[in-house]
Amino acid sequence: MAARDAVALALSEDAAADDVTTRWSVAPRQWATAVIVTRQPGLAAGVPLAAEVYARIGGETRIDEAVPDGTRLEAGDVLARISGPAHQIITGERTVLNFLQRLCGIATLADRYVTAVRDLPVRVLDTRKTAPGLRLLDKYAVAAGGGRNHRLDLAAMVLLKENHIAAAGGVTTAIDSVRKNMASEGRVMAIEVEVATIAQVREALQAEPSWIMLDNMTVPRVAEAVRLRRELVPDSDIRLEASGTITLDDLRAVAETGVDAISVGSLTHSAPAMDLSMLLSIA
C-alpha cells in the first residue's frame, strides 16, 4: 500500500497523464526496450517499484528485475530491463529513477554503517527522519542495506524526548505518567526515554524503561552509561541506544563502548542518491 500510494502521488505531481512532450513526439505504437543501470557501486533497493510505476502508466510495459533488492552492485550493472511502448517507458522514466536513486542511496549508506561494525554486537537503527510520505519506503531501504528499523511512527512505542520530559517535570515523572495512562487504556508497549546527562542516566536506570537513549553524549560519557547499567541494574533488560549526529568516523568508537544500538538519522535524511540512468533502444 505504501508503494502504491507513493507511486500514485509521484505520477500525479509529475502530470504523467498529460506528458505533452512524449505524446507529441513519440508514435503511440513505437516499441522500445530499456535498461536501468548504475554508474557507481552500491546496493539495490526499490527495484520492484518500477513495475508499480509502469502498471499505473499503461500496463503494457514489461519489467524484468535483473537483481533482487539488497544485491551489491558495481558501476555498469543492470538493475532492471524494460520493454513496451516507448511513450510509456519515457513517461515513467523520471519517476522510476527518482524512487530507485533515493532508495538505493539509503541502502548503500546503511550498508556502509552496518559493515563498519559488523563484528560487534550492536544494531544500527534508523529514525523517523524520513521524507514525508515515504517513511515505509525509506525504512525498507535501510533494511535492504542491513540496518534495523526502530520506531515506525508515534503510535509504535513510547519515546520520551527532552520536550516531553521538560513538560512532564522530569524523567521519573514522565515515565510514571506514561505507565499510569498506558495502564488506564489497557495497552502495553515499550518505553524509551532520552537522556542527556549522567544524572539523568542514573534516574532513568532506576525507573527501568525498555530503552534509554543517550543523546549527543561523548564516547566517554556513553561508556560511563554502559558501566552504570552494569553496576546499578546488572540483571535488567534495559537497552542503551546512542544517538545524535554519529558519523561513520565516530561509529566504531561508540559501538565499542558496549551500547546495544546506535541510531543514525542521516541514513534517511542525508543519504546521497545513487547515480542511475535509463538507457532506451528502439526495438
SS (HEC) of 152-172: CCCCCCEEECHHHHHHHCCHH
Angle value at C-alpha 238, between 181 and 227, nearest 5 degrees:
135
Structural contact between residues 110 and 69, judged by C-beta atoms closer than 8 angstroms: no
- How many degrees, rounded to 5, is the angle at CA 224 between CA 220 and CA 230? 145
**Known catalytic residue at 161:** yes
Q: Is 94 annotated in the active site?
A: yes
Catalytic residue among 161, 187, 227, 230: 161
CA distances from 33 to 46, 206, 213, 283 (A): 20, 63, 50, 6
User: Position 101: which residue type?
Assistant: Q
Q: Which of 177, 218, 170 is nearest to 194 (CA)?
A: 170
Question: Residue 240 belongs to what H/E stretch?
Answer: strand 239-243
Which of 126, 138, 194, 241 is the catalytic position?
194
Given the residues 81, 112, 129, 148, select the one marked as catalytic: 129
Q: Which of 81, 94, 179, 202 is catalytic?
A: 94
Q: How far is CA 45 from the centre of its chain?
A: 11
Question: What is the rounded CA–CA span in Å between residue 205 and residue 217?
Answer: 16
What's the CA gap between 234 and 223, in Å, rounded? 15
Active site residue 194: yes
Active-site residue, 229 included: no
**SS3 at position 138:** helix
3-class secondary structure, 46: coil
Catalytic residue among 215, 229, 241, 260: 215
Q: Is 139 a catalytic residue?
A: no
Between CA 63 and CA 47 the distance in angstroms is: 10
Residues with catalytic roles: 94, 129, 161, 194, 215
